[in-house]
């Protein structure tokens, strides 16, 4: 190959070159592949000559890409041989040969610097049967060019003259650079800046795994059902193209998958608007973003029109290269996702029919699996509405994507049948699948592993208090709670029950329990139940104002407390029954013993618990005995407690975790073991204490399991030998932490549960014998007697993998919110699929996985979950706003803590944060008091006036004044800052500054990378810049890399001189000035022109 000229790369080539360098080698990201079967008598020599003739005519096919002067350039060879060898099967079955060779062609990476960037091969399957494989790098070809090549190869094979092209791709690249850099595309860039203003940076499709920091572009493809035949006709009626109709269908699907009403989708534009480019071979295609509003109340006809307008609008502003659009819009960028859009919709008309060979029938061969996906999801529309879906396997399982494509089919079929129906009313499930999904939402007596214990089908009957009494009769002298025997437990309960009965307490009454965790408190709960009443636990840690408010709200018939807390209650005006070592009645209540418990019915309340309220007022949830019995029955079906079990009682009595611990344990006749105070000294102390107590079963908030796993795996703390079961829940679990616990305690069964107070604590569960590599940990299936439906806004079931709201039904439902019928009606709604029954709408989002398991996604509203507490931010916000100096407030979770944000009133002065926290602590329980408070001039708001929670700063973030005053710390930070200043042309940068927010882009990132490489000797510096755009993070990464390799050196090739392939990779990494490139080439021992 003789180099004759080097010209700057086109913008598209520059993008491909950068993309492959960021990928770090390996995957063939930008290969274009064509496979056709040639049936008939083929002259293979003439065919090979025709292919070579195309290479000789078109400079693009003789081009390689090398960096010169800081930018990639096209190096065009005067001549270049691209042979078309003929391969024989050699005993390999024909189909296997085709599949293997086609996959090899599609997946083998081109060396952009060494070339050639095209390969051709014929497979001889028989005397008159061949398959032609053609693979070309996208940097030198596009779909239009493939059609031109096939026409010319066919003409040359037929012996017809083929005209020399009037224009070569290098001419186009030079013209394009001059046009854009001369301001010719400025109007288009201005248009895109305006069109994409405020667009979402990332479309978060519901994925099976977390998005990696750096994508490897691994992918797969599948072929779903084609678009319905009537879609093209409907498009014609609205005077839009079939492609616009496909775009509208894709937009509707993405809206249903994400809930987004503002969707940005990528597509391609051929770039052949000028007639002189019609026969030009090269990559003229440009990528364009299409912004599509999808409003649920609009009909599909309206969406079609909008899609048509978006396509026309993009075509009118197609001169701006996509890279320049990205620079102009300057979205948030990481190497984990594509900028501006993450979903591509494209049309592929098919080109195989443009290869016409006399006496030979040409048939396309299905595309091989490339094993890559450049985007999260790509839909390619072929002739007749056929679809090919390419998806990222880093994010999605095949079953999930298949569900999404079935959803697309259902939506488009429904839209064609009823185009005037509001989009929100179009069914996302075909009828048969809808029935399957609904049937999978219910559980009768199945445990989380699908088993159905035979005895559960009949059910033990009765109530939880009756089961506890029966357990006491079986083993009166065994330990029931701590050192308290069953006989003593029932005796104390009987005494308190008699005392309460003497005060008129009975069925339907509520009794407040103001006590710390202790055996006496458990006896008090049993005594309250013995009187036929429901217990209302109040935590003595609550501030006085909160205690007074809750007592006023609940209006209990009696209050039970311990001697230590009685004076405080009297000071608050509450008349209390006091619990000493035994039970003593106060206020003349008498000391009578109740030998027989008051019978309770399923509808009678068992307990009342306050939960965080969305209006700033806590809600009193009343759970009946029927719901409690249903949970205990399901618990026993899952965990099979025996009298030999010792169950840890660790949770505060005022949260329903304590009910999970107490009632199944006592009903099964097991021993309840209160946690000691020493166990709070740390994870190791907790494990040691559990071992000393002989704990066999522990219900833990997820946040507690994390440090316990760390204590075992990192610090060597032993797992309690008695422990057989750990049940975790209360907030989303970290898969890595659960996997660490599984590895640390392989002999301990681990269950992950989900539930709400309004549905008797737990509604779904999963045994985690293994922890799959997923973004989230499954919450399993409905427990016995429970049904869970995942529904959309129209109370319709959503497809597998699509987020929807969790609705819970079954025997475990609470009665509602006491004395609040409006709130109760809003949350406990009529069952849409079973007349006369109710469902509780949780406000939680979940996905149903293929196979029926559920995966928790997050909150539908702003309710938060922290350390096992479900928190509605409106409550602490209301308290903060009540401060004299606060004009507005917002509360959210940041960095693992509750954070308050306040805007102060004009003239309030600088109110100390400590004063604001003390104000909150006086009125709120500890878990609702913000751990940090940030003062702002004003709270950020969205266009609709709502608080923009995503724009609230981290409590560790500094003010702009502080940021501008910050200086880089340490020699590496200072050196990186100096490089940034040189490349960006700025006078000063701070450690928290972001390279791209300061105006950096891909080419400037390359220059930074070259300087980092020269100064510190780090490899893969380009990827470092994209992975760590913040200056301090980049400097830290450079330090880590520098510690691994001597600065200023390149690792030598093992066992000999540098190979040509490695030299090519080194060339690709040299992105600096000409002297820098020459220096690197000399070091590698490679000559250059």
The pLDDT tens digits of the residues spanning 366-402 come to 888 888 999 999 999 988 889 999 999 999 999 999 9
Within a domain: residue 299?
Answer: yes
pLDDT at 1043: 67
Q: How confident is the model at residue 1065 (pLDDT cuts 50, 70, 90)?
A: very low
- CA-atom Rg of the chain in angstroms: 35
- pTM greater than 0.85 (yes/no): no
Within a domain: residue 15?
Answer: yes
- Among 922, 957, 992, the domain boundary falls at 957
- Among 123, 156, 172, the domain boundary falls at 172
Within a domain: residue 1068?
Answer: yes
For the cut 50, the answer to whether the pLDDT of residue 1053 exceeds it is no
Stretch 1059-1076: mean pLDDT, rounded? 32
Q: Which of 212-221, 242-251, 430-439, 1065-1074 has the lowest mean pLDDT?
A: 1065-1074
Q: Which of 137-146, 216-225, 1055-1064 has the lowest mean pLDDT?
A: 1055-1064
Each residue of 838-889: pLDDT tens digit?
999 999 999 999 889 999 988 877 667 675 566 778 778 888 988 989 888 9
CATH number of the CATH domain containing 88? 3.30.559.10
Q: Which of 11-25, 82-96, 551-565 has the lowest mean pLDDT?
A: 11-25
Q: Which of 145-154, 735-744, 1070-1079 has the lowest mean pLDDT?
A: 1070-1079
DSSP result, 478-539: SEEETTEEHHHHHHHHHHHHHHHHHTT--TT-EEEEE--SSHHHHHHHHHHHHTTPEEEEE-
Residues 916, 982, single domain; the answer is no
The answer to whether 389 and 236 are in contact (CB under 8 A) is no
Beta strands in 702-837 (DSSP E): 725-729, 749-754, 764-767, 778-782, 786-791, 804-810, 816-817, 828-830
909 versus 131: which is more confidently predicted? 131
How far is residue 321's CA from residue 256's CA, in Å, rounded to a whole number?
31
Q: Which residues pair with 781 in a beta bridge?
A: 765
> In 3D, which of 254, 280, 283 has the Cα closest to residue 269?
283
For the cut 50, the answer to whether the pLDDT of residue 1067 exceeds it is no
For the cut 50, the answer to whether the pLDDT of residue 403 exceeds it is yes
pLDDT at 4: 64
Stretch 755-766: mean pLDDT, rounded? 95
Give how far Cα 651 sits from Cα of 143, 676, 961, Å.
Answer: 64, 12, 45
Stretch 1043-1049: mean pLDDT, rounded? 44
**What percentage of residues in the chain have a pLDDT greater than 70?**
87
For the cut 70, the answer to whether the pLDDT of residue 53 exceeds it is yes
Give how far Cα 135 sits from Cα of 33, 285, 1069, Å.
Answer: 4, 17, 25
Residues 136, 276, single domain; the answer is no
Within a domain: residue 450?
Answer: no
For the cut 70, the answer to whether the pLDDT of residue 1057 exceeds it is no
Instruction: Return mean pLDDT, the chain.
Output: 86
Residues 934, 1070, single domain; the answer is no
For the cut 60, the answer to whether the pLDDT of residue 23 exceeds it is yes
DSSP result, 117-160: -EEEEEEEEETTEEEEEEEEEGGG--HHHHHHHHHHHHHHHTT-
Within a domain: residue 505?
Answer: no
Give how far Cα 590 sits from Cα of 510, 565, 576, 809, Å.
Answer: 19, 20, 13, 43
Each residue of 478-508: pLDDT tens digit?
999 999 999 999 999 999 999 999 999 999 9
Residues 53, 75, single domain; the answer is yes
Each residue of 946-991: pLDDT tens digit?
678 878 888 864 444 444 456 677 889 999 999 999 888 888 888 8
pLDDT at 942: 58
Classify 901 as helix, strand or coil: strand
Q: How confident is the model at residue 431 (pLDDT cuts 50, 70, 90)?
A: very high
CATH number of the CATH domain containing 1041? 1.10.1200.10
For the cut 60, the answer to whether the pLDDT of residue 1045 exceeds it is no
pLDDT at 612: 75
CATH number of the CATH domain containing 879? 3.30.300.30
Residues 47, 144, single domain; the answer is yes
Residues 111, 253, single domain; the answer is no
Each residue of 991-1040: pLDDT tens digit?
877 787 677 766 677 788 878 888 888 766 676 787 677 788 788 888 87
Classify 681 as helix, strand or coil: helix
Question: Range of 997's domain?
Answer: 966-1084
For the cut 80, the answer to whether the pLDDT of residue 583 exceeds it is no
Residues 132, 246, single domain; the answer is no
The answer to whether 668 and 478 are in contact (CB under 8 A) is no
Residues 72, 133, single domain; the answer is yes
Residues 899, 1034, single domain; the answer is no
Within a domain: residue 902?
Answer: yes
How far is residue 1011's CA from residue 976's CA, in Å, rounded to a whole number?
9
799 versus 614: which is more confidently predicted? 799
- Among 380, 415, 436, the domain boundary falls at 436
Residues 351, 393, single domain; the answer is yes
pLDDT at 913: 87
Residues 1010, 919, single domain; the answer is no
DSSP result, 596-624: SPPP--TTSEEEEEEE--TTSS-EEEEEE
Within a domain: residue 62?
Answer: yes
Classify 570 as helix, strand or coil: helix
For the cut 60, the answer to whether the pLDDT of residue 458 exceeds it is no
Within a domain: residue 858?
Answer: no
How far is residue 15's CA from residue 168's CA, in Å, rounded to a whole number?
20
Each residue of 670-709: pLDDT tens digit?
999 999 999 988 889 999 999 999 999 999 988 788 788 8
**What percentage of residues in the chain have a pLDDT greater than 90?**
62
> In 3D, which of 408, 403, 407 has the Cα closest to residue 381?
408
Stretch 462-477: mean pLDDT, rounded? 95
CATH number of the CATH domain containing 217? 3.30.559.30
How far is residue 729's CA from residue 732's CA, in Å, rounded to a whole number?
7
Residues 230, 282, single domain; the answer is yes
22 versus 548: which is more confidently predicted? 548
Q: How many domains does the chain have?
A: 4
pLDDT at 346: 95
How far is residue 457's CA from residue 443's CA, in Å, rounded to a whole number?
12
For the cut 70, the answer to whether the pLDDT of residue 324 exceeds it is yes
């Amino acid at each position: 190959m003789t180099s004759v000229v080097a010209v700057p790369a086109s913008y598209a080539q520059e993008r491909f070159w950068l993309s492959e360098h960021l990928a770090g080698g390996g995957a063939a990201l930008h290969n274009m592949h064509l496979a056709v079967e040639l049936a008939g008598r083929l002259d293979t020599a003439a065919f090979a000559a025709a292919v070579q003739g195309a290479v000789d005519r078109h400079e693009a096919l003789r081009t390689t890409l090398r960096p010169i002067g800081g930018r990639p350039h096209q190096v065009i060879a005067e001549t270049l041989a691209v042979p078309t060898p003929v391969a024989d099967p050699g005993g390999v079955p024909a189909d296997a040969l085709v599949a293997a060779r086609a996959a090899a062609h599609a997946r083998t990476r081109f060396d952009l610097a060494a070339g050639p960037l095209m390969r051709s091969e014929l497979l001889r399957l028989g005397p008159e049967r061949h398959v032609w494989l053609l693979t070309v790098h996208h940097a030198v070809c596009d779909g239009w060019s493939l059609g031109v090549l096939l026409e010319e190869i066919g003409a040359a094979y037929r012996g017809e003259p083929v005209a020399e092209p009037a224009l070569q791709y290098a001419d186009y690249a030079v013209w394009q650079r001059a046009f854009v850099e001369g301001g010719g595309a400025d109007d288009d860039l201005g248009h895109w800046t305006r069109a994409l203003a405020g667009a979402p940076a990332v479309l978060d499709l519901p994925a099976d795994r977390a998005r990696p920091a750096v994508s490897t572009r691994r992918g797969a493809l599948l072929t779903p059902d084609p678009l319905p035949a009537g879609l093209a006709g409907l498009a014609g009626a609205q005077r839009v193209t079939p492609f616009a109709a496909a775009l509208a269908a894709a937009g509707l699907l993405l809206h249903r998958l994400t809930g987004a009403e503002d969707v940005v989708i990528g597509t391609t534009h051929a770039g052949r608007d000028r007639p002189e480019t019609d026969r030009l071979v090269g990559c003229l295609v440009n990528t364009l973003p299409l912004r599509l509003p999808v409003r649920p109340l609009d009909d599909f006809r309206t969406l079609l029109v909008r899609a048509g307008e978006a396509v026309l609008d993009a075509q009118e502003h197609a001169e701006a290269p996509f890279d320049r659009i990205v620079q102009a819009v300057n979205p948030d960028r990481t190497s984990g996702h594509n900028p501006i859009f993450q979903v591509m919709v494209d049309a592929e008309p098919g080109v195989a029919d443009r290869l016409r060979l006399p006496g030979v029938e040409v048939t396309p061969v299905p595309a091989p699996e490339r094993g890559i996906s450049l985007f999260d999801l790509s839909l390619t529309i072929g002739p007749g509405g056929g679809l090919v879906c390419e998806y990222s396997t880093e994010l999605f399982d095949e079953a999930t994507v298949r569900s999404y494509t079935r959803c697309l089919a259902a939506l488009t079929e429904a839209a064609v049948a009823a185009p005037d129906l509001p989009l929100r009313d179009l069914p996302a499930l075909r009828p048969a699948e809808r029935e399957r999904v609904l049937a999978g939402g219910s559980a009768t007596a199945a445990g989380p592993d699908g088993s159905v214990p035979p005895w559960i089908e009949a059910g033990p009957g009765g109530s939880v208090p009756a089961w506890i009494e029966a357990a006491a009769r079986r083993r009166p002298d065994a330990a029931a709670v701590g050192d308290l025997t069953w006989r003593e437990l029932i005796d104390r309960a009987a005494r308190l029950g008699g005392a309460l009965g003497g005060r008129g307490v009975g069925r339907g009454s509520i009794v407040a329990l103001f006590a710390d965790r202790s055996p006496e408190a458990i006896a008090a709960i049993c005594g309250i139940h013995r009187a036929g009443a429901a217990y209302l636990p109040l935590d003595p840690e609550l501030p006085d104002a909160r205690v007074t408010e809750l007592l006023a709200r609940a209006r209990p018939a009696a209050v039970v407390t311990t001697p230590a807390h009685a004076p405080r209650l009297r000071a608050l005006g509450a008349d209390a029954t006091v619990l000493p070592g035994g039970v003593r009645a106060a206020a003349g209540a008498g000391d009578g013993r109740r030998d027989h418990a008051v019978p309770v019915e399923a509808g009678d309340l068992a307990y009342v618990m306050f939960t965080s309220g969305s209006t700033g007022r806590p809600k009193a949830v009343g759970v009946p005995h029927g719901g409690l019995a249903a949970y205990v029955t399901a618990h026993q079906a899952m965990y099979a407690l025996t009298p030999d079990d010792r169950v840890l009682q660790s949770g505060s009595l005022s949260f329903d975790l304590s009910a999970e611990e107490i009632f199944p344990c006592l009903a099964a006749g097991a021993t309840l073991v209160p946690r000691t105070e020493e166990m709070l000294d740390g994870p190791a102390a907790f494990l040691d204490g559990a071992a000393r107590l002989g704990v066999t079963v522990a219900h833990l908030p997820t946040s507690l399991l994390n440090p316990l796993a760390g204590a075992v795996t990192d610090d060597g703390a032993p797992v309690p030998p008695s422990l057989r079961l750990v049940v975790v829940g209360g907030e989303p679990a970290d898969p890595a932490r659960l996997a660490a616990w599984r590895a640390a305690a392989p002999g301990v069964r681990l269950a992950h549960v989900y539930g709400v107070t309004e549905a008797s604590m737990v509604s779904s569960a999963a045994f985690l014998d293994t922890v799959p590599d997923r973004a989230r940990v499954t919450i399993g299936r409905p427990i016995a007697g429970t049904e869970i439906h995942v529904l959309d806004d129209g109370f319709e079931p959503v497809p597998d993998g699509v987020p929807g709201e969790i609705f819970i039904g079954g025997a475990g439902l609470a009665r509602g919110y006491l004395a609040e019928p409006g709130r109760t009606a809003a949350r406990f709604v009529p069952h849409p699929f079973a007349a006369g029954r109710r469902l509780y709408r949780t406000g939680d989002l979940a996905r149903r996985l293929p196979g029926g398991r559920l995966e928790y996604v997050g909150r539908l509203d702003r309710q938060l979950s922290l350390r096992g507490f479900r928190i509605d931010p409106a409550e602490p916000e209301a308290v903060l706003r009540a401060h004299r100096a606060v004009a507005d407030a917002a509360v959210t979770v940041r960095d693992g803590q509750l954070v308050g944000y306040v805007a102060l009133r004009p003239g309030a002065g600088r109110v100390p944060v400590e004063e604001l926290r003390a104000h909150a602590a006086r009125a709120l329980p500890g878990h609702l008091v913000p751990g940090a408070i940030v003062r702002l001039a004003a709270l950020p708001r969205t266009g609709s006036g709502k608080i923009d929670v995503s724009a609230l700063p981290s409590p560790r973030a500094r003010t702009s004044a502080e940021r501008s005053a910050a200086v880089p710390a340490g020699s590496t930070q200072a050196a990186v800052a100096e490089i940034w200043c040189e490349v960006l042309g700025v006078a000063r940068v701070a450690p928290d500054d972001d390279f791209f927010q300061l105006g950096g882009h891909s080419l400037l990132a390359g220059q930074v990378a070259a300087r980092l490489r020269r100064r510190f000797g780090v490899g893969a510096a380009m990827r470092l810049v994209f992975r760590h755009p913040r200056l301090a993070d980049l400097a830290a990464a450079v330090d880590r890399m520098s510690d691994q390799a001597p600065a200023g050196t390149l690792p030598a090739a093992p066992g000999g001189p540098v190979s040509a392939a490695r030299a090519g990779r080194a060339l690709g990494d040299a992105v600096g000035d000409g002297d820098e490139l020459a220096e690197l080439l000399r070091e590698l021992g490679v000559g250059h022109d």
